[in-house]
């Protein structure tokens, strides 16, 4: 089962929020007070309603939906209205609310609650070898009885064998005093003691041969391990070329890839912003015409000034032309008057007096002179200067027109410089911004290519990184296997061969018979009732000692057989949860630790090499890693064919940086098989999850506030 989407209409302080989740791992990141826990409680309470949920406070307005998809591909929708949830999530049977919260929907406080896996149905179903529930109690009884008979740790006079041994010593002293004077009896007694010594030596030889047989059995049992070790070493050597990848190279590659991705995104954003501003022009063409575009603003200003001056000069010359026209009219009038005066004076001179004609001629001449002198108007020089300035202005305007026409032709524009200046300057800025973004992206690409050049290609680099990780894993397995072979006491493939055990056993029996025969002969020589009683007492004590020794030997053999049976059965019937948890913990600790379960006491151990640590011997950090691995493994085993999603609420907040990063990789591995939704307010944790390359990141932003709760 996978949650595809959540639509929260109203829940806590959230209104109208839609979220989509990935198939595998999804990280929901939000700072404090952005509604992260509220979203988690909505998903958890809708998927598995539980009336004990207290946050956020229930409200009649609570409403929302969860879209889920079953393993068979069937789409379903769970609808929440107030306290009721309609729709069938199809959760596997056998998962109650406590199990769901402690295993499938963990918060930090749930992580350290080991009660759900340390007893009850989950422990018996998933964390115990089938049929081995009573083994710890049987082993306890066997070892308890062995300690009553003989303490292997220290010499004690309170054990049953020690007490009989003491009584035998006292009997031997009394018997020695009783027979000291009897030479025949003494000789027979000496012979009996010699036989007993030889019988004891035969027993030691039998015991030593049994040890040799045991060592041979161990060597034979470790043969497969040695062959596996040799294969691992060959594979480790084959992966030696991965040494070309330094420890920091994967991180550097990820950093360069991230920089290239950011640069590509910046280039796309720059291209998007520039699309409407480029006026449909080629950015390279705009940058090629940058000098002309950058000077266009000054050209427009200059043209405005020149046109204003041209209008002023043209207006001034128009006024001057009007004044000259009036002057010419006056001049014609005065000349006409002068001509009239001259004609009248000539007529009067002819008719009346010639002097009048002379005076009239003089007057006419004066009037004509006044007409020419007064009509000269503006200076010709000033008019010429104005014409020259107008011509220069028009020439300069024509030059700017030519420059604009050349620029407009190069750019394919048809407007006026005044209309196009601001638009082209903005287009130039957009083109330069786009080019800068393209150059930045190209630089990041060159940096990445230069890094990958050491390895040949990105595919080869990824292959070498995978080989390096595999080589580290092999090194850890080699170290563990080497330690295991050494701890078994048979690091060498060869050793002393045992003798024929049946022959030694026959010799031991023959000597026993000889001892019994000598004892019978010795009893025939007895004449002293006290000596006979002491001998009878010794026989009784020896019989008791043999019974106790045989009982201890049987218990020891039983303990050894139980241990070997446990090892053999555990290797074949190892619980699936332990195997999954072992892989997860190995991933979380970079191969330093694995998980085993000793069927002798049904306790989980964190194993490093040949040694293991039980709960109570773990550090806080290791304990958190073990519990997280086991609970995730239990969740996977409980799920069956329809695994519900795992909801994790910042369960890594108590992990240090290294443990957190490794745990993120392990969680990403688990998400390959079942959906994991990880809620966190820690940016670094969200980045670590995203860095696995298999995580969808969903961010909650400020503005979503949980409704205040009444306590």
Mean predicted confidence (pLDDT) in 586-604 = 78
**How, if at all, do strands 646-649 and 105-106 pair?**
parallel
**Cβ neighbours, 10 Å, residue 103:** 24
Mean pLDDT, all residues of the chain: 82
pLDDT tens, 619-660?
888 888 888 888 888 888 777 777 889 999 999 988 999 999
| pLDDT value of residue 326 | 58
Long-range contacts of the stretch 194-198 (C-beta < 8 A, 24+): 195/511, 195/514, 195/515, 195/518, 196/515, 198/511
Q: How far apart are CA 26 and CA 696, in angstroms?
A: 5
What tokens does 530 get? 């006290």
- DSSP code per residue over 51-109: TT--SSPP-TT-EEEEEEE-TT--EEEEEEETTEEES---PPTT--HHHIIIIIEE-HH
- Range of lowest pLDDT (5-9, 159-163, 336-340, 514-518): 336-340
| pLDDT value of residue 661 | 92
Mean predicted confidence (pLDDT) in 453-480 = 92
Q: How far apart are CA 562 and CA 138, in angstroms?
A: 9
Question: Are 367 and 338 spatial neighbours (Cβ–Cβ below 8 Å)?
Answer: yes
Mean predicted confidence (pLDDT) in 264-281 = 89
The domain locations on the chain are 156-217+497-572, 226-245+456-487, 258-320+378-453
Q: How far apart are CA 275 and CA 287, in angstroms?
A: 15
* Residue 265 clears pLDDT 90, i.e. is over it: yes
Q: Which residues make Cβ contacts (< 8 Å) with residue 466, sequence separation at least 6?
A: none
pTM of the model: 0.43
pLDDT tens, 85-139?
888 877 766 677 777 777 888 888 888 877 766 655 555 555 555 555 556 667 7
Q: Which residues make Cβ contacts (< 8 Å) with residue 536, sequence separation at least 6?
A: none
How confident is residue 710, by pLDDT bands cut at 50, 70 and 90?
A: very low
| pLDDT value of residue 139 | 74
| pLDDT value of residue 705 | 45
| pLDDT value of residue 141 | 82
Tell me 496's DSSP state: P
What tokens does 408 get? 């407009």
* Residue 33 clears pLDDT 80, i.e. is over it: yes
């Amino acid at each position: 089962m996978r949650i595809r989407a959540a639509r929260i209409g109203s829940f806590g302080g959230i209104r109208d929020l839609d979220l989509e989740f990935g198939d595998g791992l999804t990280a929901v990141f939000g700072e404090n007070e952005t509604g992260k826990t509220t979203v988690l409680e909505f998903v958890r309470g809708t998927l598995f309603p539980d009336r004990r949920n207290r946050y956020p406070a229930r409200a009649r307005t609570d409403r929302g939906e969860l879209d889920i998809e079953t393993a068979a591909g069937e789409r379903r929708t769970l609808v929440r209205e107030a306290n009721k949830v309609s729709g069938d999530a199809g959760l596997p049977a056998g998962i109650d609310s406590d199990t769901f919260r402690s295993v499938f929907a963990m918060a930090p406080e749930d992580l350290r609650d080991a009660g759900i896996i340390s007893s009850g149905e989950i422990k018996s179903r998933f964390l115990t070898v089938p049929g081995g529930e009573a083994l710890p109690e049987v082993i306890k009884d066997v070892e308890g009885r062995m300690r009553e008979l003989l303490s292997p740790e220290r010499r004690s006079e309170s054990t049953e064998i020690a007490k009989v041994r003491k009584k035998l010593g006292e009997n031997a002293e009394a018997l020695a005093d009783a027979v000291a004077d009897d030479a025949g009896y003494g000789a027979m007694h000496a012979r009996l003691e010699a036989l007993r010594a030889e019988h004891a030596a035969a027993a030691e030889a039998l015991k030593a041969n049994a040890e040799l047989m045991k060592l041979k059995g161990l060597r034979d049992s470790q043969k497969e391990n040695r062959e596996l070790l040799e294969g691992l070493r060959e594979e480790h050597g084959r992966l030696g070329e991965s040494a070309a990848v330094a420890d920091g190279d994967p991180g550097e590659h990820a950093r360069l890839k991230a920089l290239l991705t950011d640069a590509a995104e910046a280039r796309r954003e720059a291209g998007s912003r520039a699309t409407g501003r480029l006026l449909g022009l080629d950015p390279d063409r705009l940058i090629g015409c940058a000098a002309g575009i950058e000077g266009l603003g000054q050209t427009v200003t200059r043209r405005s000034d020149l046109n204003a001056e041209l209008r002023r000069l043209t207006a001034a010359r128009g006024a001057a032309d009007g004044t000259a026209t009036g002057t010419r009219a006056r001049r014609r009038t005065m000349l006409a008057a002068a001509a009239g005066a001259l004609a009248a004076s000539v007529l009067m001179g002819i008719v009346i007096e010639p002097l009048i004609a002379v005076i009239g001629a003089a007057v006419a001449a004066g009037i004509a002179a006044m007409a020419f002198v007064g009509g000269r108007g503006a200076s010709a020089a000033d008019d010429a200067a104005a014409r020259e300035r107008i011509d220069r202005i028009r020439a300069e305007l024509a030059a700017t027109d030519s420059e604009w026409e050349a620029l407009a032709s190069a750019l394919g524009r048809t407007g006026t410089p005044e209309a196009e200046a601001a638009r082209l300057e903005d287009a130039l800025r957009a083109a330069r911004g786009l080019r800068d973004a393209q150059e930045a992206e190209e630089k990041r690409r060159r940096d990445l290519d230069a890094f990958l050049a050491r390895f040949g290609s990105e595919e080869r680099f990824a292959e070498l990184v995978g080989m390096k990780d595999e080589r580290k894993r092999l090194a850890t397995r080699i170290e563990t296997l080497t330690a295991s072979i050494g701890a078994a006491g048979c690091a060498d493939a060869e050793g002393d061969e045992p003798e024929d055990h049946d022959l030694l056993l026959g010799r031991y029996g023959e000597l026993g018979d000889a001892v019994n025969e000598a004892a019978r002969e010795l009893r025939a020589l007895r004449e002293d009732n006290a000596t006979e009683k002491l001998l009878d007492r010794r026989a009784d004590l020896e019989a008791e000692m043999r019974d106790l020794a045989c009982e201890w030997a049987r218990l020891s053999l039983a303990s050894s057989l139980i241990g070997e049976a446990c090892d053999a059965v555990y290797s074949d019937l190892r619980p699936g949860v332990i195997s999954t948890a072992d892989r997860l913990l190995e991933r979380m600790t970079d191969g330093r630790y694995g998980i085993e379960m000793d069927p002798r006491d049904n306790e989980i151990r964190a194993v490093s090499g040949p040694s293991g640590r039980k709960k109570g011997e773990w550090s806080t950090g290791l304990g958190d890693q073990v519990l997280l691995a086991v609970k995730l493994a239990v969740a996977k085993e409980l799920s069956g064919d329809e695994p519900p999603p795992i909801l994790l609420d910042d369960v890594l907040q108590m992990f240090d940086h290294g443990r957190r990063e490794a745990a993120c990789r392990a969680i990403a591995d688990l998400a390959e098989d079942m959906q994991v939704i990880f809620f966190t307010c820690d940016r670094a944790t969200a980045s670590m999850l995203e860095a696995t390359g298999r995580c969808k990141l969903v961010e909650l932003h400020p503005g979503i506030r949980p409704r205040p709760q009444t306590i």
